[in-house]
Copies of this chain bind each other. A is one copy, B any other.
Amino acid sequence: MPPADPPDTDGLRPALLRAARAELAEGGRAAVSLRAVARRAGVSHAAPAYAFGDRAGLLTAVATHGYRELAATMDEPAASGEPADLAELGRRYVAFAQREPALYELMFRPAELAGDDADLTSARAASLRALTRRTRPDGADGPPGEVTLISWALAHGVASLAAQGALPASATDALVDGFAALVSTPS
């Protein structure tokens, strides 16, 4: 019987994660089968299931990486050195989704992920925190407010619609900027 929590020190899990990312990028979410990942990584067909428990476990690990990268993207200071403003933040969010559409799609597909995974939960919380921090006037942490949630929903909506061709990819920045202008208009 495989151990409940195999150590991550060796190269199997990282190698499988790399292979899964490559499959995801090349063939989309449907192409990420345990066996295809195993073939690409040059291991036996059951190795991924051993290393990650099951398919949901593998996808969860991939999605966790995605959330970490998204949070890092948002935390990055702007060229000016100052924290990014709302429009810049939205553009980055959408750009991330457009750069890795299959990964972004996977991140928001809880039916295929292990929702109770601790790493996933914390990475998800970290990315929401990065967004919250930048949409509060004081730049501090705290529970997301209405403006944060509306901004998130808008960015997610633009990213999702663009990812599936419902919106032209060239229109996304204008929509994000238009929304930011709405928000900053004094009521």
Residue among B147, B165, B167 making CB contact with A153, cutoff 8 Å: B167
In chain A, residues 108-125, which have Cβ atoms closer than 8 Å to a Cβ of chain B?
A: 108-112, 115
Contact A164 B110 (CB under 8 A): yes
Whether, in the assembled complex, A57 has its beta carbon less than 8 Å from a beta carbon of chain B, the answer is no
A131 → chain B, closest Cβ, in Å? 12
Residue among B28, B156, B171, B179 making CB contact with A160, cutoff 8 Å: B156
Contact B28 A164 (CB under 8 A): no
A104 → chain B, closest Cβ, in Å? 12
Task: Report the bound CA distance from A178 to B161 in whole Å.
Answer: 21
Residue among B146, B155, B187 making CB contact with A157, cutoff 8 Å: B155
Task: Report the bound CA distance from A32 to B180 in whole Å.
Answer: 40
Chain B residues with CB under 8 Å of A146's CB are 174-175, 178
Q: Which of A147, A149, A171 has most B Cβ within 10 Å?
A: A149
Chain B residues with CB under 8 Å of A161's CB are 108, 152-153, 156
Chain B residues with CB under 8 Å of A155's CB are 157
Contact B167 A179 (CB under 8 A): no
Contact B111 A166 (CB under 8 A): no
Question: Taking CB as reference atom, which chain B residue is nearest A124?
Answer: B166
Knowing A150-B178, A157-B153, A160-B156, say if A108 contacts B183 (CB, 8 Å).
no
